[in-house]
Amino acid sequence: MRTGQSQSGSTSGYRGSLTTGKLFSQCHRPTRSLVRQCPCHWPGQSHSRSGGISLECPTPEELVTEFRKRLIEWGRANYEEWPWRKDRTPYKVLIAELLLKRTTRQAVGREYNKFIEKFPDIESIYRASFEEVRDAFRPLGLYNQRAKQLKEVARAVVEQYGGEIPDDIDRLKSLPGVADYIAGAVMSFGFGKPAIIPDANVIRVLARVTGIERWSSRGKLKLYAVLEKLLPEDGHEDFNYALLDLGGTVCRYDRPRCFKCPLRDLCVMGHNDEEMKQCLRRLYKKLGKRDSVHTKVKEQNKR
C-alpha cells in the first residue's frame, strides 16, 4: 500500500488482441534517445553500439527482483487516481470490480460515489428492490443484467456468510459472477492479502513480456504461475495497481507505448538483442512451471 494513502483498486475494462509483429518491430526500433533514457539497474548492463541494451543473462531471482522494482517504482510515479481507490473496504472493492465489468473506468468514475451513497453496504443491496438496484445501474448500461447479478451476490453474502464479504479466495469465487481477477482484487486491495489479479490487461502484459501464449488453458496456467512468482508479499497492492495501470495506459492492446515501458528490456517482445530475448524466454518459461508457490499463495489467502 502506498504510504499515507488508503486505496481501493480496480481493473480497467480495456480489451483486445495481441499486437502484430509488424507493429512491435516498429515500436521497438532502437534509437539513441531511448537508450539514453533507459534505466540501467543490473550490474554489468551496458548500451550496445546498435542502440539496444546489452545484458548478461540474469538469474531467475535477479529477474524477479528487477521486475518488481521497476514496476513498483513506475506505478508509484504514474499512479492513477480513481474514486474506488480511496477509503478501501472489501465491500467497496467488490462493488467497484462488479461495476467495471464491460465498462470503462471513466464511466464508472462518474457513477461510483453515487452508487456507494445509495447502497453503503451489502445489506442495503439485499434489502433494496430489484427496480431500485436496476435504476442505479442505468447510466452504465446493461442495467437489468447487472442488477440481477448484484442482487444474487448480495443474497449469497447475506444468507451464506452473515453479511460479511468472505476473506477466502475460493469462497469469493463461489459468488455469482466473481472469477479469478475480481476475487484477487478483493483479497489484495480489500483484505490486504497477497493475491494475483489476472484480468485481461494483466494477462496481455504478461504474455508480451514472457513470450508465453495466452489463448490456451495451458498457456494461461503458465502465465498465472509466472504472476504468482513475481507477486511480492510486501507491496502486493502497489505491484497490482502498477500492473493494471501499465496494461491500461502503456502496454495497450492496440498501440503499445513501448518507449514508455519500465519493463522494456525485461520483455521478450520488447528487447532488441536476440540473445537476451532467448535468455528471458528461458527464464520466464522456468518461472511458468507450476510448483509449491501456487499452494503457498492460496494458503496465504486463507489466513
Catalytically active residues are 97, 181, 199
Q: What's the Rg (C-alpha) of the chain?
A: 20
Helix (H) or strand (E) holding 61: helix 60-77
Quick one: cell of 126? 439485499
Residue at grid coordinates 444468507: 159
Instruction: Name the residue among 262, 269, 303 with its Cα closest to residue 284.
Output: 269
- In order of 28, 245, 249, 281, the CA distances from 268 in angstroms are 11, 20, 19, 6
Half-sphere exposure of residue 85: CA atoms within 13 angstroms, side-chain side: 21
CA distance 17 to 101: 18
CA distance 73 to 238: 9
